[in-house]
Amino acid sequence: MYDTNRRVENAVTPKDIKIQARKVQVFYGDKHALKDVDVDILDKTVTAFIGPSGCGKSTFLRCINRMNDTIPIARVEGEILLDGEDVYDRRVDPVQLRAKVGMVFQKPNPFPKSIYDNVAYGPRIHGLSRNRAELDGIVEGALRGAALWNEVKDRLSEPGTGLSGGQQQRLCIARAVATSPEVLLMDEPCSALDPIATAQVEELIEELREQFSVVIVTHSMQQAARVSQKTAFFHLGNLVEYGDTDDIFTRPKDSRTEAYISGRIG
Amino acid sequence: MTDDPDHKPASLLQQDARTKARNAAEKRFRWYGIIAIAISMIALVVLLATILTAGAGAFRQTYLNIPVTLDPAVLDPKGNRDPAEMAKVLTLSYGRVLDAAVEATVARHGIRIEGLSDKDIDGLISKEASAQVRDRVLAEPDLVGQTVEFDVLTGGRIDGYFKGRVTMDSAARDSNTSPAQLQLAQELANRGEIVTRFNWNFLRLADASDQRPEAAGVGAAIVGSFYMMLVVLFLAVPIGVAASIYLEEFAPKNRWTDIIEVNISNLAAVPSIVFGILGLAAFINFAGLPQSAPIVGGLVLTLMTLPRIIIPTRAALKAVPPSIRDAALGVGASRMQSVFHHVLPLATPGILTGMILGLAQALGETAPLLLIGMVAFIRDIPSGLPQGLFDPASALPVQVYNWTQRSDPAFIERASGAIIVLLVFLLCMNVLAIWLRRKFERRW
């Protein structure tokens, strides 16, 4: 088994490896969508996945919390270790896994319920609070964590769908944070947002890094450069290059990476 | 402009040929739509007007008010006022008492009309009247010996005369009435002895025989239809909704579910009479359930309604955006939690609408009920639940069918009245469906 205390040397500061993927293959029916992905994702770090559309970056992200299980034709091979435990082990219940690995989706998708209920839903179904006061505390903490508390504290009973797009996305982040996950997966969280809302979410990601391992899929290379410490470049189902964000954007080793970041492919 | 090879308009202020043609096409299409709507509205108005004019009469009924001397010598020959003994006196004897009472009333008013026979006078009142009086007397034996005022049903022709269905001309050609009898009825009405009132009995009483349309009501049919709807509600709705949720949210997508899906769609297209044959074979011949019983009718309608509930329910579930399921799964909800906490509440308005429209369709269904004996002549209102489910009953559409088969035109009036009752129920169900949809509709 993998030793969680092992230190890695390539990070700026030595950190724990949170997720370790080995030879991950994903098939959609006959289509080989993801080939031999090996990657180590660090704790308390923002890792960005970049690459052209259809390159498999979202597919890989959805493997980490087994959201691909909901697609009947999807098949995953290889292993993804979360703290040394294979998430595709037969004994793993995806429900328990998803409480540990939160997810924020491309389009803000708050439940058509009140702001409070949106955030409280996760803690409720996982039984994280013993009473109402404790639940109130969790909700407030999560909303503060998502930098939304000051904007919504007076209207917690209003529907979450009534918020603006950027607020909705931060509500979704609060909802994901409320179950106190260890990893936060973000699938193009800003693609439906305007620049101001994007800036707010990016700022938030920077803060979330202190508590979680954040993995973000993005189409915007500027965004990857701004928010991440590590970057992985995917192309045609392959993980082409993975390393420190600064290195990827300034001294790419692979010619395909260079072509992509300079805008020649993708 | 016409010389321009590229057909470019010389000026924006002038429409070119293409634009003109397009605008004309648009205008034509609008007119097609307006005409189509106008035709359907006219058809609806004509339909409703016909039924309302034909059926309004069923809700009004003429009664003759007469003092009846309840002769103890006839009605209680033993003189002990024992209801059991008195029950042996048949309606025939009551008929004689009533005939005497009618003749006395006519004599009291001193009405003289040429060609008026005793038969005409006795024929003023319904054959049902003697049963009406007998029921009352058996319920209150102490009335015997007294003179009691009764509002008795008038005969069908007399009733028809006051509703405009029977005229002096038609009476002259009718062996069941005569112009003299109608004149007499008019005289009595002028003196306030014959009155027309709202006919609650139409909604309360069961069917009546061919000779007494004035006593026929939709009571047994309403109760029968109501019981059947209860059976459908408690069987088809839970089974249908559970099947839809399973198929839509849990079932794997493979050949078996494809076959099931195709068959559900086919089942919705099966003619309803086939379900009647199935019900006859399965529930009556095989399971041994009684004929004409609402339980059997309800079971048959349940089979018929199931696909009609499953299809809209699945559509409603499908219409819930997948992002909601992702969101629920993403925070670690199980599949069932995501369905019951998030998907189902959003699909509720659609499910309720489908359910009510399915029930409404079942309420109006006739053909399968004919095959399981619900077309029988039902004289008694079914008893209360649960025993009533096994009592012989009729159903509203079957009652309509039944009455339109009878020769007396008075039954046409009753049939139209029954259609009005049916339409009112359907209207209520549709209003309920709209109201529920509004109430549960949530935006996201």
Each residue's pLDDT tens digit, A196-213: 888 888 988 988 888 889
**Local structure of residue B154 (DSSP, 8 states):** B
- Residue B43 in tokens: 């058809």
The yes-or-no verdict on residue B385 having pLDDT over 60 is yes
Domains of chain A are 17-261 (3.40.50.300)
- Domain range for B368: 219-440
Q: In chain A, which residue's Cα lies nearest the Cα of B252? A: A72
Residue B15, pLDDT score:
85
Residue B59 CB contacts under 8 Å (≥ 6 apart), including other chains: B198, B199, B202, B417, B420
Angle between helices A195-208 and A165-178 (to 10 degrees): 20
Overall number of domains in chain B: 2
Q: What is the mean pLDDT of chain B?
A: 88
Interface probe with B: pick from A58, A67, A70, most Cβ of B within 10 Å = A70
C-beta atoms of A125 and B326 within 8 A: no
Q: Check residue B8 and give its pLDDT.
A: 60
Cite the beta strand spans of B9-111 per DSSP E: 60-69
- First-residue to last-residue Cα distance in chain A: 38
Cα–Cα distance measured from residue A83 to residue A81, given in angstroms and rounded to the nearest whole number: 6
Distance CA(A167)–CA(A161), nearest Å, equals 10
Q: Look at residue B339 in the predicted model and tell me its pLDDT.
A: 93
The one-letter code for the residue type at A177 is V
> Do residues B299 and B251 both lie within one domain?
yes
Which residue does chain B place closest to A98, by CA atoms? B332
Task: For chain A, list residues with pLDDT below 50.
Answer: 1-13
pLDDT of residue A220: 87
The continuous run of DSSP H or E covering B431 comes out as: helix B409-440
Residues in chain B: 444
Q: Mean pLDDT over residues B157-164, rounded?
A: 88
pLDDT at A211: 86
Look at A109 and B333 and tell me if their CB atoms are within 8 Å.
no
Do residues B129 and B189 share a domain?
yes
pLDDT given for residue B392 in this prediction: 86
Q: Which two tokens stand for residue B5?
A: 């090879």
Same domain, B179 and B319: no
Residue B270 lies in a domain: yes
Residue B85 lies in a domain: yes
Assess whether B332 and B398 both reside in one domain. yes
Mean pLDDT value of segment B207-215: 85
- The verdict on B87 and B191 lying in the same domain is yes
pLDDT in tens, B296-305: 999 999 999 9
In this prediction the ipTM stands at: 0.84
B129, B65 Cβ separation under 8 angstroms: no
- Give the mean pLDDT of B238-253: 92
On whether both B393 and B261 belong to a single domain, the answer is yes
Q: Report pTM.
A: 0.81
- Is the pLDDT confidence value at B14 over 70? yes
B140 and B249: one domain? Answer: no
- Residue B120's pLDDT is what? 83
Residue of chain B whose alpha carbon sits nearest to that of A185: B330
Residue B19 is assigned to a structural domain of this protein:
no
Q: How confident is the model at residue B280 (pLDDT cuts 50, 70, 90)?
A: very high
**Nearest Cα to Cα of residue B197 among B154, B260, B236, B237:** B154
* B256 lies in the same domain as B341: yes
Amino acid at A138: I
The predicted structure's pLDDT at residue A9: 41
Diameter of chain B measured on Cα atoms? 115
Burial B145-157 (b: 16+ CB within 10 A, else e): beebebbbbbbbb
Report if residue B12 sits inside a domain: no
pLDDT attached to residue B9: 57
Same domain, B176 and B252: no
- Residues B145-171, mean pLDDT to the nearest whole number: 87
pLDDT tens column, B59-80: 989 999 888 888 888 888 877 7
Segment B316-320 shows an average pLDDT of 93
B333 contacts in A (CB within 8 Å)? 95, 121, 125
B188 and B252 assigned to the same domain:
no
Given this model, what pLDDT does residue B230 score?
92
Instruction: Classify residue B340: in a domain, yes or no.
Output: yes
Q: How close, in Å, is residue A123 to chain B by CA atoms? A: 9
Rounded to whole angstroms, how far apart are CA atoms B390 and B294? 6
Cβ within 8 Å, pair B323-A105: yes
Q: Do A179 and B331 touch (CB under 8 A)?
A: yes
Residue B409 has what pLDDT?
A: 84
Interface A–B counts its CB contacts (< 8 A) at 68
The Cα A46–Cα A184 span in angstroms is 9
Q: What are the C-alpha distances in Å from A69 to residues A27, A56, A237?
A: 12, 16, 19
Q: Which band of pLDDT confidence, cut at 50, 70 and 90, is reported for residue B5?
A: low
Residue B301, C-beta contacts closer than 8 angstroms, at least 6 positions apart: B228, B231, B232, B236, B275, B362, B365, B368
Do B253 and B382 belong to one domain? Answer: yes
Tell whether B144 is covered by a domain.
yes
Measured between CA atoms, how close is B329 to chain A, in angstroms? 8
CATH number at residue B402: 1.10.3720.10
Q: Per the domain annotation, does B51 fall within a domain?
A: no
For B300-334, the DSSP string reads HHHHHHHHHHHHHHHHHHHTS-HHHHHHHHHTT--
CA triplet B376, B199, B364: central angle to 5 degrees? 45
Question: Is residue B245 domain-resident?
Answer: yes
Cβ-based burial of B59 (10 A; exposed 0-12, middle 13-18, buried ≥19): middle
Instruction: Tell which of B198, B229, B254 closes a domain.
Output: B198
Decide if B375 contacts B363 (C-beta within 8 A). no
Same domain? B155 vs B297: no
Reported as a pLDDT band with limits 50, 70 and 90, residue B347 is: very high
Distance in Å from the first CA to the final CA of chain B: 51
Which pLDDT band holds residue B131 (cuts at 50, 70, 90)? confident
Q: What is the chain B residue with the closest CA to A163?
A: B444
Confidence of residue B3 (pLDDT cuts 50, 70, 90): low
